[in-house]
Structure 1
């Protein structure tokens, strides 16, 4: 396993699917995409999370995708999405991913069954006790129906295997409180919402698990690198440059827009598994326009001096 400190940019990878009836996994494109992102300078990769359409994958497919990404890259860590609303299932997926060589695990909080805060603590602690691998707690209440409260996050941060928190609640007060109360722990808060990455970095976060980094990894790395170097003037400029992309990638359910953006850029097919559908025509032109503007700008000259 590669050492990991959860600082920097970690693209939440898409899973490319073939254009067949089963939407089988396109492993050749998956490996090429992992190599493209590594070459762009990202700090790690996150396959089979929400952006990777993990909800439609079998357990064997989960492991096969994780193994393919690990085999494709040279020296960046791979963080496997292994969450579930069934603790036993999440435990099994986590152990299998760790056995396959994942450097860390990303665990979305249990969705639909909406456990109480003690249930969340028990869920995460059970997995952290059994699987000796760094783990990231993922809070995205818009998808799960339940918020991980600051007290819960702080309690989980005391576990030696729970090393980070992916924050996608949209509540800056809450995110700031978690950062404030875990400053003395070996614990990192990562943005899980591209539009809030810069504000989260400004209050003490250390990176992001990013959807937009699939499409614009160099710019995302430049923004995060500038913020971590406390060059907020440059970080703000890149944040605003990327703002239209941040918004456009969420006009429909993730990963529908980002997979279409990947297709437009030539990085992979836009195929999604049912019940997701392709991006609607009403949003397609806007996405093309946003990508065209970014394509026209010369990133190398503008940001080459940024030290990450």
Structure 2
């Protein structure tokens, strides 16, 4: 039936054209943003998962920055510790040489030892990174007892968050104590803790408890006490260097892991929300053809009413 009031063909063609235009707008949005799921309305489940994982990846980025800062502190302390071990080794050699040297030669040797002791104090004092020195700390502090480097961000299924840390205790790395009560590896005082390496004197023959020569103690025994204290310090310094080296290695490994983890999460998010540009490009070409045909079909449908006029001529 032909009607001038109702054009069913035109309505069908218009509905088809509207659908094609809507699909084209969706495809163009995906091409311009590169996202198949850009909003929650596109796919609520995928959008929610992707948003959460993106948030976690931002936390991982902060963890990487924190480990970078921690790595700088540990690496600085490790470098200074190795240098200090080398200097203390030189002091040991000088003390051993002084044991069989004349009084005049001991004075010259002591000047060298004093220079090495000054270098120790200066290099340890300057081994600071971002305002923190792991080799020069306060033994009496009850709050600042270790360096804690954030190494991981963990979120349970229930949403509870915990963070992992890599710790370096100051007791193992403290060479000089900033407190009056000396308790560092190099500035220890008292018979039980050993003599201060920074005050050893081969001329005055400083005893291992920090005092001058004790009556009745032989000169050889006094030198042996000095060498024993130096060996004890070197052993403790080696332990400290091992602690710093282990922390340094752990931080490097964790940094590499977090970097790979971030990449894996990013790839996973991409699989959920990224658009396949090849597919979208092909779809756009098809929709453009469909749109042209839809416009043509609507034009033909609208021309049907004009054909009725020919029946009245």
Shorter-chain TM-score tier: under 0.3
Structure 1 length-normalised TM: 0.23
Larger-gyration structure (1/2): 2
Q: Is the helix fraction higher in 1 or 2?
A: 2
Structure 2 length-normalised TM: 0.22
